[in-house]
Amino acid sequence: MADQKVISRQTGVEDTQYKWGFEFDIESEVAPKGLNEGTVRFISAKKKEPDWLLKWRLKAFEHWVDQGDDASPKWAKLNFEDIDFQDIIYYAAPKSSDDAPKSLDDVDPEILEAFDKLGIPLHEQEKLSGVAIDAVLDSVSVATTYQDMLKEAGVIFCPISEAVQKYPDLVQKYLGSVVPYSDNFYATLNSAVFSDGSFCYVPPGVRCPIELMTYFRINEADSGQFERTLIIADEGSYVSYLEGCTAPMRKSHQLHAAVVELVALKDAEIKYSTLQNWYPGDKNGEGGVYNFVTKRGAARGENSKISWTQVETGSAITWKYPSVILQGDNSVGEFYSVALVNNYQQADTGTKMIHIGKNTKSTIIAKGISAGKAQSTYRGQVSILPGADNARNFTQCDSLLIGDECGAHTVPYIEVRNPTAKMGHEATTSKVNDDQLFYLQQRGIDLEESNYMIINGFCRGIFKELPFEFAMEASQLLRVSLEGTVG
């Protein structure tokens, strides 16, 4: 995918680095700009949703209106102009989705071709081996591969809009159970207007035979993307889920406010990996996606485990804190993160580990890399509540600075209310070691490559948590994002 043509026809924005910046010519159906009760009802009606869901959306909308735009969180270390929430398109769908495709053969060939171009082949014969993909274009899911294999294992993996129709009990039981509609400003907005996203249910004792993947793509100009993902791992089950995202290059900012909820019951494990490569804006900070995402997992059952791995290279602004609520005794939470910012990008990202059950354990490894004029902040909370006997946390945050115009910040919040708990936090900030650079250069490797090798090594611990193909792609993303940062 590295040799894609990179000129966006419509915007004329030229960028040699962002290789996913083209847009597709796909006819789409869009809601009028702006947000009011009518918009919420329009989306719900489009999705032919049951009454309970419409009511839930309206409650969220009401809450959103009541608290006003001022309620948007201000504590993050992010500078950006206020978002005009009436200047956003809240629903955009490819035209062909009105009569949803029954199989891949019915999918609009233009969409298949578009995803091909992104390096995500959806064609039966060229499928990414061992990965079932749900492709989401703007607001709707356009295709899900490997359905037969999943069906055989009893795994449900489909667009959430489809799940609402086919498995309403499951959706109603778990939707909003981890991230309530009133959780925070952007989660509330998402609850009111979410359009689509993935739904996954793994039945008791089942180890999902293949990796599940959702590929998100914002295409429509001026549209926001508000997807909602819900994954439930029932007792004793296991699932590994991947998420990738890109957007075309545009001069204006696009809003992405997603919500992801994970539920792991007794002895279940969910591994959630993200490659976030939304359009970061150009060298001068123009354009780029505003990424305000709420991701949270409930390790509800005994011995359950939730692991978040994220590689964040995209977006003009990233605001996300994938968290784990460790409710079950002996439950485990993990957070592995690489956040790379360049040019005028800003990232305020981290995690929350809330220890409630006994013998709960969490690990946080976060690597931040700042270059250009970018600002990167790790913000993480570890709370050990009174009942969490023998809880353990280990946190390590390391930051690398490239050049003297960027910033790297670490803001941990540590709250301990149990004397048997043990928690340790370590953090370092430094630049790429000159001796290491010289050593590599002396062996004949050029400066840029040396720099890449060292930084790739700095991130290796995180990349190895990713499934193999994803790890390769992450390395590649790192290389592209680092281009032009030295010398």
Q: Least distance in Å: CB of 484 to another protein? A: 16
Q: Least distance in Å: CB of 182 to another protein? A: 15
* Interaction of residue 69 with another protein, rule CB under 8 A: no
Q: Which stretch binds another protein (CB under 8 A): 49-57, 112-120, 237-245, 418-426?
A: 418-426
Q: Least distance in Å: CB of 98 to another protein? A: 44
* Interaction of residue 404 with another protein, rule CB under 8 A: yes
Q: Which stretch binds another protein (CB under 8 A): 154-162, 199-207, 395-403, 450-458?
A: 395-403
Q: How far is CA 368 from CA 127, 204, 223, 250, 340, in A?
A: 33, 37, 29, 26, 6
Q: What's at 467, amino acid-wise?
A: P
Please give the Cα distance from 310 to 466 (Å, whole number): 9
Which residue lies nearer to another protein by CB, 38 or 424?
424
Q: Which stretch binds another protein (CB under 8 A): 272-280, 283-291, 415-423, 438-446?
A: 415-423
> Interaction with another protein in 72-91: which residues (CB under 8 A)?
74-75
Q: Centre a 10 Å sphere on the Cβ of residue 155 and count the other Cβ atoms it contains.
A: 23
Please give the Cα distance from 2 to 277 (Å, whole number): 14
* Interaction of residue 399 with another protein, rule CB under 8 A: yes
* Interaction of residue 423 with another protein, rule CB under 8 A: yes
Residue 116, phi then psi, degrees to nearest 5? -55, -45
* Interaction of residue 410 with another protein, rule CB under 8 A: yes
Radius of gyration, CA atoms only, the chain? 22
Q: Name which position in 16, 67, 126, 413 contacts another protein (CB under 8 A).
A: 413
Residues 6+ apart with CB under 8 A from 358: 329, 330, 387, 388, 389, 390, 391
Longest dimension (CA), the chain: 69
β-bridge pairing 332-341 and 361-370: parallel
Q: Which stretch binds another protein (CB under 8 A): 47-55, 177-185, 427-435, 456-464?
A: 427-435
* Interaction of residue 416 with another protein, rule CB under 8 A: yes
* Interaction of residue 102 with another protein, rule CB under 8 A: no
Q: Least distance in Å: CB of 74 to another protein? A: 6
Q: Least distance in Å: CB of 352 to another protein? A: 14
Which residue lies nearer to another protein by CB, 149 or 486?
486
Token digits for 442?
A: 């002396």
* Interaction of residue 435 with another protein, rule CB under 8 A: no
Please give the Cα distance from 268 to 302 (Å, whole number): 9
Please give the Cα distance from 406 to 485 (Å, whole number): 11
**Of residues 437, 27, 442, the one with CA closest to residue 220:** 27
* Interaction of residue 453 with another protein, rule CB under 8 A: no
β-bridge pairing 269-276 and 305-312: parallel
Which residue lies nearer to another protein by CB, 237 or 349?
349
Q: Which stretch binds another protein (CB under 8 A): 96-104, 144-152, 204-212, 417-425?
A: 417-425
Please give the Cα distance from 307 to 449 (Å, whole number): 31
Q: Least distance in Å: CB of 184 to another protein? A: 12
Q: What angle do CA 455, 378, 224 make, to 5 degrees?
A: 100
* Interaction of residue 354 with another protein, rule CB under 8 A: no
β-bridge pairing 131-137 and 140-144: antiparallel
Q: Name which position in 34, 409, 449, 475 contacts another protein (CB under 8 A).
A: 409
* Interaction of residue 405 with another protein, rule CB under 8 A: yes
Size of the site for another protein (CB under 8 A): 36
Q: Least distance in Å: CB of 428 to another protein? A: 5
Which residue lies nearer to another protein by CB, 269 or 398?
398
Long-range contacts of residues 143-148, Cβ cutoff 8 Å, at least 24 apart: 143/101, 143/104, 143/107, 143/111, 143/112, 143/115, 145/104, 146/210, 147/103
Q: Least distance in Å: CB of 398 to another protein? A: 9
* Interaction of residue 460 with another protein, rule CB under 8 A: no
Chain residues in the site for another protein (CB under 8 A):
74-75, 384, 386, 399, 401-431
